[in-house]
Structure 1
Amino acid sequence: MGSPAANQCYYPNGRSASTDFPCDPGVDDSPCCGGGLGSTCLTNKLCSGPDGNIVRGSCTSQAWSSSACPLYCLSANTGGTDLISCSNVTRSDTSYCCDHNAFCCDSGVGRFDVVPSKPQTWATWSAAASQFVVVNPLSTAAASSSPSSTLASKTSNAPFLTTTPPGNDTTSGTPQPSQPAQGLTAGAQAGIGVGAAVGALLIAAVVFLLWKMKKNKKLLEGKQRTENTWPAVYPEPPKMELVGATPLRQELDGSYVPTELPAVTDRAELYGHRV
């Protein structure tokens, strides 16, 4: 049974977390979560609040030198802090980032894993006892988890792989951070998609140009073939002769009636004028 002193919880800077309670009051070292209706401790040593947010709580080890402490996001050392799931990027429910680390999920810088996968409820809050009550011992939860994602613990606390984000300052007893989870970020996937689209367009353009050149070549060959077969000079048309060798002669009318002046004419005299 844990001592009363062990039931005290502390933030990474050593200050008391007066509103937090040990997830397992029966052991000396335990992660702590905020008490209250709807609060639960998970088998990955994180806390689930009434609103469903995943939180890194506090620890009964004031120096945070125990492996039972949730050694994540230690730069937020004055209190608990939310963890952001990166499962939409990495497709893994164990991938997280600290909430104050912008673009962490996409870039992978500061991203870390919290195991085991698919964590179960470890302890629930009892309003009557004003403490957390273990409903799923960690040894049982560890046995039901994948062996590759858990490590045995001598204190019978849950097996966990603890890491801290790169660049965070921790105490000398804090384990070194592991490598960030590998995987293509959303930016890299978008770049690959754009590159593939551009490549497809280039290939289509080359194919179109080759087809166009081949079509023009066929048209040119057909034109040359037509010019070679069509005669350049038309043959002289055949000469045409008139019908009949001797042309017909035409004569004037043979009947001619001479015409004489009238026999009787009136004589006309000039007018006489006296000068």
Structure 2
Amino acid sequence: MPRIPLLLLATLLPLLPTPVTVSATCYWPTGNATYTRDLTEHMPCSNDTTSPLSTICCALNRTNPSGGDKIYGRTNDECLPNGICRNRVLDHGTMQVSYWRETCTSKDWKTGLCLDVCSDDWTSGNGTTGAVMTPCDGTERSLKWCCGINTECCNDPAKVKTLPFEFRGALPNTASSTPRPLTSATGLPSGTPTTLSANRNEGGGGGLSTGAKAGIGVGAAVGALVLIALGFLIARKTAAKKNSNNNNKGDGNGDVYASEQGSTMIGSPQPQPAVIEKQVYRHEMEHQQRAELAYSPARPEAGRKQTPSYELS
């Protein structure tokens, strides 16, 4: 097997770039950016800039996955289609579910890009925490929600928050304002979305940064070189195998014989006619020899007829 392509491949593989992660800054309703651990944990719900959920931030970058045990720390959120962040955590064997309005990639929450609800109901009062929300029908598909941990506002039109099932946001110049469907999480009810990865530019704008484009370009070039090396390796291996097969076929010293039907057999002798054996008895051989004696000038007596003695008398 050729060694040069393998060495080339081993050299190029470490050069393949890792996926470029472009994080976005998420903001509280006051316009303050997230900081400390929220700065690294809060990420946009979608990296597709045509999706309204691309401006909604949830805590998606925690080490403890959604539904994990509380002893391992805070668990990841899950983005719901209506823009609310759902959190599930296992607490002493019981799955605790809570719903939150978190942050937004837009600094101005009045642009329509953010889920601007429960902004005045923060328990801490410092404007740097999410707002807990409670569905009036007890499910994440509820159209009516209360700010806080109870459903007392559900019958009060002045306090209840009515949310569409899908957050549509305010995305001008887009083909459709309907967000793309979200995949249901394993073991969750139908319609429940999974946590989405967040890789996009800061501020909710479209397009990749110059650094991201450069990284993609380098990755494409290195990937092309790897493909060329693999193609060369496969071609060399195929050619070597073909030559080996041809040598095995051409090394035989057998002759080529043609049969009566015109077919060709390699290394087979020409078929010989069958020999028919016949048993010849002794008296037949003696009679035949006496009958076939011919006249010979050297031995004239050999051609004479022998006359028995009884005929001479």
| TM-score tier (shorter) | 0.3 to 0.5
Q: Which has the higher contact order (CA 8 A, sep 6+)?
A: 2
Q: Select the structure that is richer in helix.
A: 2
